[in-house]
Structure 1
Amino acid sequence: PGPLAVAGAMGINIAWFLVYGIFVSLIASLVAGVLYGGILGRKKEYVNDFANDFDDIDESVQDTAGMPSGGLGVFLIFLPIIIILLGTILTQVLEGGTFLYNLFAFLGDKNIALLIGAVVAYLALRPHIKESFEDIITDAAQQAGPIFLITGAGGAFGAIINATGIGAALQETLINWTTAGAAIILLIVAWAISQILRAAQGSTTVALVTTSAIFAPILSGMSAVSPVLVGLAICAGGIGISLPNDSGFWVVNRFSKFSLKQTIQSWTIGGTISGLTALAILIILSLFTGVLPGLL
């Protein structure tokens, strides 16, 4: 929910947000996952101990008859994304005000696209679901409730911080910078604040929601700075320093059977490298704000 909250708070076109987000995340994953992971994987402690920890796992083939196919799962995941992208592309091509334009603008809205995805997923997977519709809705509400609370609290916290005048002060500081210079500074500051909040309290969602609430009014007065890139910088900061106050830290630790040192080496440092790589790519993209589509 964090990235969607960022896009919503900052008024970002979700389709372009996804396009550039996928591009940046692929590069960051290659650097932090493949390159750094490859270096880490050659260490003796990972080659031996880690591999031997899984000797007790039952590797027998389980009966998958009656289960939904992998292709269906992939389709259901990407369906809302495809609808959003189609809506964005077609509204750029079709004449404004026409029936088709309004139709695809409506369907391409992130909330409508996600609702369509949820309905299609339920209908497609209904034969494989044993629980009743009421139980499914109840379980979903229980999982979504804390997210709503976190989003609301983070937005309120961001509004309180903005009431202190930090946004206006930052705008005044950057007013004399060139467009490229202001964009780079904003990207770095947004990334750093998100990173600090993530490290301080552990929740990525809180960090993203709070930081986006701080920067949304700042960007409204700086039309030459790309909200897409700033939003992605906030998200990149949220995947950085993950400490033991983060529940995800212990999920990796327990399920991977890592020691505390191994978890920090793989999860914490790896995530930080990924975030730094993403920030570097975003800074490079900011130099082409007036050239690349969808950034303004």
Structure 2
Amino acid sequence: MAPDTSFVYLLACLLAGIALIVLLTTRFKVPAAFALIIGCFFVGIGAHLSLTEVVTIMKDGFGNIVKSLGLIILLGTTLGILLEYTGSTSVMAAYILKKLGEKRTVWGISITGFVVGLPIFCDSGYIVLSGLNKTLAKKAGISIVIMSVSLATGLYSVHCMVPPHPGSAAAAGIIGADIGKLILIGALVAIPAMIVGNIWAGYAGKNIPLPIVEEEIAPDARQHLPSVIQSFLPIIVPIALIALKAFVTLEATPDNAWLTSLLSIGDPVIALIIGILLTFFCRKSWKKAELGHLLQDSAEKAGGILVIIGAGGAFGAILAATKIGTHLSQSLALDSLGLFFPFLLTFMLKTAQGSSTVAIITAASIVLPLLPVLGLDNETGKLLCVLAMGAGSMMISHANDAYFWVIAKFSGLDMRTMLRVYTVASILMGVTSFAMVYILSKFIS
């Protein structure tokens, strides 16, 4: 980079690069990974880095992020697909709703979305549960608007906050936050967001009754389902192991070395592997061909996610090489913003281009060099920073968000209803989540 490059010029390059990414992904429908790569060359060359330097920096950034997150994303995706295939998600949903009772059906579908959403992406989870959602709405005589938005917000609350979902996982890798603690605290922060989404759905959707399209179920759809315990264990056991790892700190002395070794199974990679192994007990028998097909699907789906995350890491490395963070910290009073800056930045990016994943990855890349001036350059600060970006990535979900259309398509809701109920819910969820993170920062900082 040329030594006389001014801050204003670098800032213009950064803003132009972000605008280019947003334009490519929204208007021209360029896949996010390619848009991020193009953004890397645009910003890097614009900041007077040589072409060779840009490529080298991109390779390092891409490799580092995949190194830290590759297995987590692959294993998390595999766990979700296997739970889906074995019918475990349906069993968990039916159990939760049965225990809560018909009068609490709306809360039941929110909690179902929350639990099922821990290992499964929100769009996949919604598609899987949409049939159950319609059946319950008809049986309980509840508006499909209320049920659909309650399910959608339950799934969405953890999708934006909790690894192994790609946005929060990538942000943790870029920022350097502890994945285990992020999973646990992120899940806790997501609970109030789910509750707010549920309450708003009930309030805004009560006067919008819509016809319900009955879901046709194949004759054998409910056969050979796993037991309730078998269905829940692949989720509960990994979370319990990660919790043990995150909250129990031991010194590696000869007296407790065996216990320290035992706690190593709380590493997210090991815990997810154990979760995957437990899914094999959810079916009486497995055919080699079907298992191979499922694992292949998992690898392909994870591969697409990893490419986006890797490209985000490359973009972050380019931004770090331009030293724009140093210039920005010297020119703006960021020290007074703290957690507000990552939250507002991610919120603006999400609203502009629609993808929570792209928004949080781009925001993390920009925020990384600013951590010291924001007062977040420590283990706790990094954790809070990723949580704040997760809250920002919830809002505002509207017509440029693919999940928005998944909900509309599988629930039969028109755009006006979606904007009035679901879009407003996403705003309330984001604000609530950030409020929880801000309150949390006063106790653990």
Q: Which residue is 2:212 aligned to?
A: 53
CA contact (8 A) 1:226 1:289 kept: no
Q: Which residue is 1:135 aligned to?
A: 293
Distance 1:142 1:15, change over 3 A: closer
SS of the counterpart of 2:400? coil
**Whole-Å Cα distance in 1 between the matches of residues 321 and 173 of structure 2?**
20
Q: Which moved more, 1:254-263 or 1:109-118?
A: 109-118
Distance 1:277 1:128, change over 3 A: farther
Q: Which residue is 1:244 aligned to?
A: 399
**Whole-Å Cα distance in 1 between the matches of residues 303 and 218 of structure 2?**
38
Q: Which residue is 1:42 aligned to?
A: 206
Q: Which residue is 2:350 aligned to?
A: 198
**Whole-Å Cα distance in 1 between the matches of residues 312 and 266 of structure 2?**
27
**Shift of the alpha carbon at 1:255?**
0.8
SS of the counterpart of 1:127? coil
CA contact (8 A) 1:198 1:238 kept: yes
Q: Which residue is 1:125 aligned to?
A: 282
**Whole-Å Cα distance in 2 between the matches of residues 32 and 150 of structure 1?**
28
**Shift of the alpha carbon at 1:71?**
3.1
**Shift of the alpha carbon at 1:174?**
7.5
CA contact (8 A) 2:234 2:274 kept: no
Distance 1:12 1:64, change over 3 A: same
Q: Which moved more, 1:270-279 or 1:239-248?
A: 239-248
TM-score (norm 2): 0.56
For residues 8-45 of structure 1, what are the alpha-carbon distances to aligned partners after superposition, in whole Å with 9 as ceiling and x for unaligned?
322222333233222221112222322x11211222xx
- Of 1, 7, 10, 2:175 maps to 10
- Of 95, 99, 121, 2:251 maps to 95
TM-score (norm 1): 0.81
Q: Which residue is 1:187 aligned to?
A: 339
Q: Which residue is 1:293 aligned to?
A: none
SS of the counterpart of 1:86? helix
- Of 412, 415, 429, 1:274 maps to 429
**Shift of the alpha carbon at 1:264?**
1.4
Equivalent AA in structure 2 for residue 2 of structure 1: G
CA contact (8 A) 1:203 1:246 kept: yes
CA contact (8 A) 1:252 1:267 kept: no
Q: Which moved more, 1:233-242 or 1:125-134?
A: 125-134
Q: Which residue is 1:210 aligned to?
A: 362
Distance 1:3 1:159, change over 3 A: same
SS of the counterpart of 1:226? helix
**Whole-Å Cα distance in 1 between the matches of residues 206 and 332 of structure 2?**
45
Distance 1:217 1:83, change over 3 A: farther
Equivalent AA in structure 2 for residue 263 of structure 1: M
Unpaired runs of at least 5, structure 1: 291-296
For residues 187-231 of structure 1, what are the alpha-carbon distances to aligned partners after superposition, in whole Å with 9 as ceiling and x for unaligned?
211112212222222222122222223323433674466211111
For residues 29-65 of structure 1, what are the alpha-carbon distances to aligned partners after superposition, in whole Å with 9 as ceiling and x for unaligned?
222322x11211222xx2x2x2x233x4458997634
Greater RCO (CA < 8 Å, at least 6 residues apart): 1
- Of 110, 122, 147, 2:268 maps to 110
Percent identical pairs in the alignment equals: 32
Q: Which moved more, 1:273-282 or 1:215-224?
A: 215-224
CA contact (8 A) 1:95 1:101 kept: no
CA contact (8 A) 1:68 1:128 kept: no
Equivalent AA in structure 2 for residue 11 of structure 1: G
CA contact (8 A) 1:12 1:228 kept: yes
Q: Which residue is 2:98 aligned to?
A: none
**Shift of the alpha carbon at 1:118?**
2.0
Unpaired runs of at least 5, structure 2: 1-165
The root-mean-square deviation of aligned C-alpha atoms, in Å, is 2.7
**Shift of the alpha carbon at 1:276?**
0.9
Equivalent AA in structure 2 for residue 125 of structure 1: C
Q: Which moved more, 1:105-114 or 1:186-195?
A: 105-114
SS of the counterpart of 2:226? coil
For residues 86-126 of structure 1, what are the alpha-carbon distances to aligned partners after superposition, in whole Å with 9 as ceiling and x for unaligned?
12233x1x3324423541453222222222222332x3235
